[in-house]
A and B are shown apart, each in its own frame.
Chain A
Amino acid sequence: MILTLARKELRSLFAAPSTWWMLALLQFIVAWFWLARVDDYLQVQAQLAQMESAPGATIAIAAPLVNVLAIMLMMLIPLFSMRLIAEEHRNQTWLLLAAAPISPAHIVLGKFLGLLAMLSLIIVATGLMMLTLWLGTPADPGLIASNLLGVWLLAASYAALGLYFSAITRQPVVAAFAALSVSFGLWLVELGGGALRALSPNLHFQNMNAGLVSSVDLCYFALFITAFLLLAIHHLRRELEG
């Protein structure tokens, strides 16, 4: 049942031209940045060769690229997630799901997985770009893997957040704005420093960006995602079952 909903969600995401435009734009910017980093690296390569422990190509090129991808996903995911449930309410298609023998948990998980599948494609595309590093230099597969895992978990967190806001409002634009405000706020919290930093998904992503995969960060992401999915399920359940 969850898979039926996820497949449907993935299909309707790809049925919208705006999805293709956003994906193309994202891919273009990531590729541009990638080439710019490679270019910079090649220019300083001569100096780097003189240094004792010079940064490798992976940490100089791949890690900053994933960092840029993370910030772009923060801005783009609300645009994808806003429609998930809010639009069903607006187009009255919600009643099809509401009258079907499925639970709110099915709906929320199905939609979350559908969106996550699409986001995984973006991350896989970026991963493929990084594989080209091996064409010119030995790269660090561990660092690349931790970066990709980190950005995937970050994307899943933003998707869960966006899904929650899409569940509690009937206006997709409001859902997008709310999700963007919260994720941007959490990003600023991380930049601001202090004890509150631990709340921000970005801080936990930064560790993985640097190549450190710790169970604390993994737990944090699992908690963040579960919390927002449960909130969304709870909200829909109250709406359906009183």
Chain B
Amino acid sequence: MASPVTLSAQHLTRFHGRQCAVNDVSFVLRRGEVLGLLGHNGAGKSTTLQMLAGALPPSTGMVEICDISLARRPDLAKACLGYLPEQPPLYRDMRVDDYLRFAARLHRVTPARLAEQLQLAKQRCGLLDHGRRLIGTLSKGYQQRVGIAQAIIHQPTVVILDEPTVGLDPAQLREIRDLIRTLGIDGSVILSTHLLHEVEQVCDRAVILREGKLIFDGSIDDLRQHCDIESSFLQLTAERPREAALP
């Protein structure tokens, strides 16, 4: 594949106390790709994404975003990055416009381009009529959209979305999936989800985590190869026999 690497994770490991949450995970993301991060609850998806976003330092391993080391030049690397955490990082007492402007300024959007970027982000996330609303009064689905708008307002090369479709109704779901596909044309997107058909619909590649370990990295077609995607996922992530689970 010729397209350049936008994000590379090498041997990421993270301990929470003595428990190993993520164990030696490596993968790369290329421009124009939408990568799905799959796994059961507690498989280490959110921890991995937090490390990719520079919000949590890895115990060992390194992350490069657009060939910039996240550990060495966090300011430059994070400027190429948009991140939606599992729980949208919203200030409930702010208005949508004010909040998005604040997020844009944090990501070094220049004042000259602020209004234009704000309008574009709101339009992409279907928030045009909600600019004056207090975030705390919005429904969960709209809060999720504000969270996504916050992650894309500075037009980052890499967008990291942690369960972006939680709490959306079916119509919104389709809009957001279309949006993710559009984001994956110019830049690259990495998203985590439990929903297999979502991966099937929007992702080019999938990475599957189990108990913090990377157990699958390949295209959707690879995953689909044996039989239908659901049973291959369940097969891959199934509980291992007891004796095998012991170190």
Interface membership of B141, Cβ < 8 A: no
Q: Given the interface contacts A95-B53, A242-B57, does A100 sit within 8 Å of B107 by beta carbon? A: yes
State the Cβ distance, A103 to closest chain B Cβ, in Å.
7
B89 & A12 in contact (Cβ 8 Å cutoff)? no
Report whether B93 and A15 are in contact in the complex, using a CB–CB cutoff of 8 Å.
yes
In the complex with contacts A8-B102, A95-B55, A95-B85, A102-B75 CB distance below 8 A: yes
10 contacts between A and B (CB under 8 A): A4-B102, A11-B98, A15-B94, A91-B89, A92-B86, A92-B89, A97-B106, A100-B103, A100-B107, A242-B58
**Across the interface, do A16 and B55 meet the contact criterion of CB distance under 8 Å?**
no
Known A-B contacts: A101-B108, A102-B106. Give 7 more (CB < 8 A): A92-B85, A95-B55, A98-B56, A100-B78, A100-B107, A101-B106, A242-B59
- Flag whether A94 is at the interface (Cβ < 8 A): yes
Select from chain B the residue with minimum beta-carbon distance to A3.
B105
Whether A101 and B107, one on each chain, are in contact in the complex, defined by CB atoms closer than 8 angstroms, is yes
Residue ID in chain A nearest B85 by CB atoms:
A95
Given A4-B106, A102-B106, A241-B57, A96 contacting B93 (CB threshold 8 A): no
CB neighbours of B77 from chain A (8 A): 101
| A12, A101, A102: the one within 8 Å of B93 (CB) | A12
B168 contacts partner chain A, Cβ-Cβ < 8 Å: no
- Please indicate the chain A residues that have their CB under 8 angstroms from the CB of B155 in the complex: none
Given contacts A96-B103, A240-B54, contact A101 B90 (CB under 8 A): no
Q: Knowing A99-B83, A241-B57 touch, does A93 contact B91 (C-beta < 8 A)?
A: yes
Interface residues of A (CB under 8 A from B): 1, 4-5, 8, 11-12, 15-16, 91-103, 240-242
Residues from chain A with a CB closer than 8 A to the CB of B105 are 1, 4
CB proximity of B16 to chain A, nearest CB, Å: 13
**CB closest residue in chain B, given A14:** B93
A15, A94, A100 — which one has the most chain B CB atoms within 10 A of its CB?
A100
**Bound state CA distance, A95 and B55, in angstroms?**
6
B57 near A95: Cβ-Cβ < 8 Å: no
CB–CB A98/B90 < 8 A: no
**CB-defined contacts of B94 to chain A, threshold 8 Å:** 11-12, 15
Decide if B150 is an interface residue (CB 8 Å cutoff): yes
Q: 6 tightest A-B contacts by CB?
A: A242-B57, A98-B55, A96-B89, A101-B78, A99-B83, A100-B106
Q: How far is the CA of A101 from the CA of B157 in the complex (A)?
A: 14
A-chain residues with CB within 8 Å of residue B106 when the two chains form the complex = 1, 4-5, 96-97, 100-102
The 8 Å CB contact of B71, one of A12, A95, A241, is A241
Q: Which residues of the other chain, B, contact A12 by a CB distance below 8 angstroms?
A: 91, 93-94
Contacts of B117 in A (CB 8 A): none
Interface bits B100-134 vs A (CB < 8 Å: 1, else 0): 00110111100000000000000000000000000
Chain B residues near A92 (CB, 8 Å)? 85-89
Minimum CB–CB distance for A62 against chain B, Å: 37
Judging by beta carbons under 8 Å apart, are A99 and B78 in contact? Answer: yes
Q: Does B93 lie within 8 Å of A93, measured CB to CB?
A: no
In the complex, which of the residues B76, B81, B91, B102 contacts A99, with contact meaning CB atoms closer than 8 Å?
Answer: B81
**Interface status of B74 (Cβ within 8 A of chain A):** yes
Residues of A within 8 A of B74 (CB): 101, 103, 240-241
Residues of chain B contacted by A5 (CB below 8 angstroms): 106
- Please encode chain B, from 33 to 57, with 1 for each CB lying within 8 Å of some chain A CB and 0 for all others: 0000000000000000010011111
| Residues of chain A with a CB closer than 8 A to B76's CB | 101
